[in-house]
Structure 1
């Protein structure tokens, strides 16, 4: 049976491996552990994972609730670092994660959710479309510093 729950300090080793699979970049685990304390203590960050019956972390997603001063001043959520381990894909895990984080956004009165995905990640784009996200509604820009 799969369960979705907040990522814990004990999960960080497995989370680092998932992030490495997502980005191809080795995670600085010491820095990750230090920053995790800030994230875990901030109500605007929602970091959850899917675990199997053996408590192995199969996937994760982060939702960040952002304050908005436009119109009715409702917050919005940025969805980030959506990852399901390669061996666990095509089992509905990603959809469960996205639905979970969208429900968190609704509970926090967010007016919308948004995410970006690298242009080369065509498989991820197909997944996002399958869970209701539409491509091309906005043009995304990113500048690495």
Structure 2
């Protein structure tokens, strides 16, 4: 049975393993736990998990952003979408995306934005099936080195 719900601290080890699948390396556990606590304390962050028979098999994060354009409605940014390689093609990603979209509607978001790595073609097909459109914008990222 699949359950979509907010991730709690008892799932941190599983969540870090999902992120290892996504990025190739796990986060440092102590910093990961501290950052998780900060995210949980901030109502603008929504960290959802897809649990299959109690095991965390997918996750995504939505971040609510206030906006000063037009009627000043917020928008949502989606990040860190991942479904375990052991559970793909079972509808978990779709259930996660539908759940975060419902939350965005409840919070009166004007739109949802996400970015996906250029080489993640399978993910792009998935997002397009979910109704997201490639708007042909240029994306820029600057990595900041720590001092």
| Fold in common (TM above 0.5) | yes
Per-residue Cα deviation, 1:29-85 (whole angstroms, up to 9, x for no partner): 1101011111001110000101112x1001001000001011110000000000000
- Determine helix, strand or coil for the equivalent of 2:46: strand
Distance in 2 separating the partners of 1:123 and 1:115: 15
TM-score normalised by length of structure 1: 0.96
Could you tell me how far apart the structure 1 residues matched to 2:134 and 2:141 are? Answer: 17
* Unpaired stretches in structure 2, ≥5 consecutive residues: none
Query: For residues 1-145 of structure 1, what are the structure 2 equivalents within 5 Å?
Result: 1-53=1-53, 55-145=54-144
Moved more, 91-100 or 129-138: 129-138
CA RMSD of aligned residues (A): 0.9
Distance 1:2 1:89 in 2: 13
Tell me the SS of whatever aligns to 2:119: coil
CA distance in 1, matches of 2:74, 2:123: 26
TM-score (norm 2): 0.95
**What stretches of structure 1 of length at least 5 have no aligned partner?**
none
